[in-house]
Amino acid sequence: ATSEGEILGYLYSKGIKPDGVLKLSKDVVKMVCEEYDVEVIDADPIRVEEMAKKKEILDDDDLDKLELRPPVLTIMGHVDHGKTSLLDYIRRSKVAASEAGGITQGIGAYRVQVPFDGKPQTCVFLDTPGHEAFGAMRARGARVTDIAIIVVAADDGIQPQTTEAIAHAKAAGVPIIVAINKIDKDGANPDRVMQDLSSIGLMPEEWGGDIPMVKISALKGENVDDLLETVMLVSELQELKANPNRNAKGTVIEAGLDKSRGPVATFIVQNGTLKRGDIVVCGEAFGKVRALFDDKGKRVDEAGPSIPVQVIGLNNVPLAGDEFEVVGSLDIAREQAESRADYMRNERIMEKAGDGMITLSSLA
Ligand code: GDP
Ligand code: MG
């Protein structure tokens, strides 16, 4: 292995002075790779950004303690193409209604058991279909989704929000599965949809490409099992992993104020295990986790990687897309939340002061 210092030395010897963040042009990277006899992989800059993001969630010392975790999915697509129907069908048919009185209230995400590889396996659906939520979270730097399901109605084809959803998924480096929906309808033309998708760069696996496409009827539940199996296949290829044996880190996917319970937030744990009694910082909010509820409204003591959990005990309502992290003490939590609040306040002032003048009202 070549050390960082050695490469830096080599760069200096070539008269290249890398800056702190080591941004190198493609040509320089190629030159270095040739010098050290390393294969050049032409990395897509967005992919690199996402990989960096992933690494932020996983620390170096996690890397030898990783275990497989369930995939987290988002359903996107044009309005009326059947996102809600698909979510509803999956929830109705796959979430064990016998448990603790079934689904009491939505927490913004739910777990589904899918038989795969001879045993039931979990996947997690984010309950907020629509690219708005996805886009807003992404704009805040959050990356929660592992796989995007793009729903396209077979009688309506590619529409503006279909293209937008595809762009979001691509920008986030998230693998896409297409659900061609409403195949039960007169006038449904799934082949036409596949043709149109391939013309915008999504080539169906069926035709030798790399995008799985499943023809379904969300209304009748037709082929939804195939879709879920495809999800598990894609997930298996992704080798999604986390270290369950450490303090939790993750992202807020939903938050609000409950009349009796105070601030309530749904977290997706992305690394580690969140436990009752943990102290968390979460954007500008912080607190001690007083209670945890799972997606069925059942009290739980902990939640591991990929698991959505509702959290009570925060001092304030965080924002969807805020990251949370378990810290050692309430003092540390308060300090971090306050410095985050200061930072955000400054950002807002800078934004408002764009025209040069800071007035009292811009500080409000
Ligand atoms: P969303 O806007 O993407 O969430 O779409 P919805 O799930 O609300 O569906 C829009 C309309 O299409 C509703 O009237 C659904 O009943 C209907 N719909 C959804 N999926 C299917 C399907 O597979 N077949 C048929 N015939 N209608 C569907
Ligand atoms: Mg809907």
Q: What is the pLDDT of residue 41?
A: 62
Nearest-angstrom CA–CA distance, 295 and 175? 25
Span from the CA of 94 to the centroid of ligand 1 (angstroms): 19
- Would you say 97 and 255 are in contact if contact means Cβ atoms under 8 Å apart? no
pLDDT value for 98: 46
Confidence of residue 105 (pLDDT cuts 50, 70, 90): low
Percentages helix, strand, coil for the chain (3-state, rounded to 5) are 35, 25, 35
- 63-100: b (≥16 Cβ within 10 Å) or e: eeebeebbbbbbbbbbeebbbbbbbebbbeebbeeeee
CA of 81 from ligand 1 middle (Å) equals: 6
| ipTM at complex level | 0.99
How far lies 312's CA from each of 51, 182, 283, 345, in Å? 31, 40, 15, 25
Task: Please give the model's pTM, rounded to 2 decimal places.
Answer: 0.79
**Dihedral pair phi/psi, residue 206, rounded to 5°:** -55, -30
Active-site residue identified among 78, 81, 131, 168: 131
Taking each helix axis from N to C end, the angle separating 160-171 and 131-139, rounded to the nearest 10 degrees, works out to 30
> How many Å apart are CA 107 and CA 307, to the nearest integer?
12
| pLDDT given for residue 291 in this prediction | 97
According to the model, what pLDDT value does residue 40 have? Answer: 66
| Average pLDDT of the chain to the nearest whole number | 84
Q: Is the pLDDT of residue 101 over 50?
A: no
Question: Which of 219, 220, 227 for a ligand 1 pocket mutation test, highest count of atoms within 8 Å of Cβ?
Answer: 219
For the stretch 122-167, pLDDT in tens is 999 987 655 555 666 665 556 788 999 999 999 999 999 999 889 8
Q: For residue range 107-133, what is the model confidence (pLDDT) as tens digits?
A: 888 899 998 888 999 999 987 655 555
pLDDT at 130: 52
Q: 3-state DSSP call for residue 38? A: coil
Q: Can you give the pLDDT at residue 38?
A: 72
The mean pLDDT of 289-316, rounded to a whole number, is 96
Q: At residue 106, does pLDDT exceed 80?
A: no
Between these two residues, 275 and 173, which has the higher pLDDT value? 275
The whole-number average pLDDT for the span 305-313 is 97
Ligand 1 pocket at CB < 6 A: 77, 79-85, 129, 181-182, 184-185, 217-219
Per-residue pLDDT, averaged over 342-346, amounts to 84
Q: Of 29 and 361, which is predicted with more confidence? A: 29
Tell me which residue has its CA closest to atom 2 in ligand 1: 80
Which pLDDT score, from 0 to 100, does residue 154 have?
Answer: 98
| pLDDT given at position 39 | 67
> In this predicted model, what pLDDT tens digit does every residue of 41-86 receive, in sequence order?
655 544 444 555 555 667 777 778 889 999 999 999 999 999 989 9
Mutate to test the pocket of ligand 1, among 74, 78, 79, 80 (most ligand atoms within 8 A of CB): 80
Active site residue 78: no
pLDDT score of 229 = 96
